[in-house]
Amino acid sequence: MSGSLKPWALVTGAGGFIGHHLVTYLKAAGYRVRGVDIKEPEYGRTDADEFMVLDLRELKNCQMSTAGMSLVYNLAADMGGIGYITASRAAIAHNNSLINLFMLEAARASNVERFLFSSSACVYPHGLQVSPDVAPLREEDAFPAQPEEGYGFEKLYAEKLCQYYTEDYGLLTRVVRFHNVYGPLGTYDGGREKAPAAMCRKVARASDRGQIEVWGDGKQTRSFMYVDDCVEGIHRIMRSDYAMPLNLGTDELVTVDELADLVIDISKKRIALVHDLSKPQGVRGRNSDNTRLRSVLQWEPRITLREGLVPTYNWIAEQVALEDGAKRMPGAAVAAE
């Protein structure tokens, strides 16, 4: 076998949004890649050398997945936007606990070299996110703990499990806290979609001079990271020597109304915002402090929200047009900027 061949990498959740892009990135970087998911990739074909459809809530399936792997990127999770994670706490905590417990144990037993866990900004305490002009969240802010119920609690527990597996068994782990990732090939409909995708879908479906619904008063703030930055960051963190949790996000803070206005501007339509205060809006403000990320990697995400929203909107507008049976939606053909 050629000595120049890169190791095998396992990507779980490879049928989902970030996993799909990560497989493509790792293949382009020369890795041999096995993808695993409970479902086939939803949008487009995977570049993985092998793709296994397996339910990772079962230990034997995690063992089958990790066998022969050097690197494990554990992205599989039951997750969605704020509507879904607010309504499904028990299922999310149950499903993700099983996936993460069994994936870590299988990785240890298979002697993998490194294990990366995809955590979330939802681990940060509620009390630090009560105003739109929130201070950016530093990694050490996660304790004392008061995370998002269900989804965030489970992520925080799985972060600790990674630490324990490193301390007790010597398994090298990396823990990445993603902050709101968006881009093409992400869920944009059906209840699990997150704010940028939902906004793009609503604008794509709205007619010129129409209106779209925004959850909450629109003044809640977030930062958003384009998926290309996300997969590059994941790869860099996996190769780094840093074993503690790290933020991976941008610190370009915008209100949800500003996010909607950007999408509307890209669509070249004139659309009014109508606020629905009865809908869940999550924490009032959330931003990523990238001080540690910069010092560990000498790198940070750099694609602006406008730059990332153009291909995202175009892709979602195209899906919507396909769904609607039309060859081309009015306003969907936005020139790449």
Q: Which residues are catalytic?
A: 151
132: which residues sit within 8 A by CB, 6+ positions away? 219, 220, 221, 255, 284, 285
283 Cβ contact list (under 8 Å, min separation 6): 126, 129, 130, 148, 220
**Binders in 138-177 for ligand NAD, by CB under 6 A:** none
Q: Which of 15, 83, 184, 282 binds ligand NAD (CB under 6 A)?
A: 15
37 binds ligand NAD (CB under 6 A): yes
Contact with ligand NAD (CB under 6 A) among 55, 252, 257, 258 = 55
Q: Smallest gap, in angstroms, from Cβ of residue 21 to ligand NAD?
A: 8
Q: How far is the CB of 103 from ligand NAD (least distance, A)?
A: 9
Question: Pattern of binders to ligand NAD over 84-113, x per CB under 6 A?
Answer: -----------x---x--------------
Contact 297, 237 (CB under 8 A): yes
Query: Is residue 17 close enough to count as binding ligand NAD by CB under 6 A?
Result: yes
Q: Residue 68: left if φ>0, alpha if ψ -120 to 50, beta else—which one?
A: left
Applying CB under 6 A, does 233 fall inside the site for ligand NAD? no
Kindly state the tokens that stand for 67. Answer: 């066998």
| Block residue for tokens 């995708």 | 197
Select the span of 52-60, 231-239, 265-273, 278-286 touching ligand NAD (CB under 6 A).
52-60
Q: Which amino acid is at 288?
A: S
> Is residue 19 part of the contact set for ligand NAD (CB under 6 A)?
yes
**Structural tokens at position 55:** 């339910």
E-strand ranges in 152-248 read 172-178, 181-182, 211-215, 221-222, 225-226, 246-248
Give the whole-angstrom CA distance, residue 97 versus residue 211.
40
> What tokens does 202 get?
């609503």
Q: Could you say which residues in the range 248-267 bind ligand NAD, by CB under 6 A?
A: none
Query: 39, 45, 209, 327: which one contacts ligand NAD (CB under 6 A)?
Result: 39
Q: Shortest approach of ligand NAD to residue 154 CB, angstroms?
A: 9
- Residues near ligand NAD (CB under 6 A) are 13, 15-19, 37-39, 55-57, 75-79, 95, 99, 118, 120, 178, 180-181, 187, 194
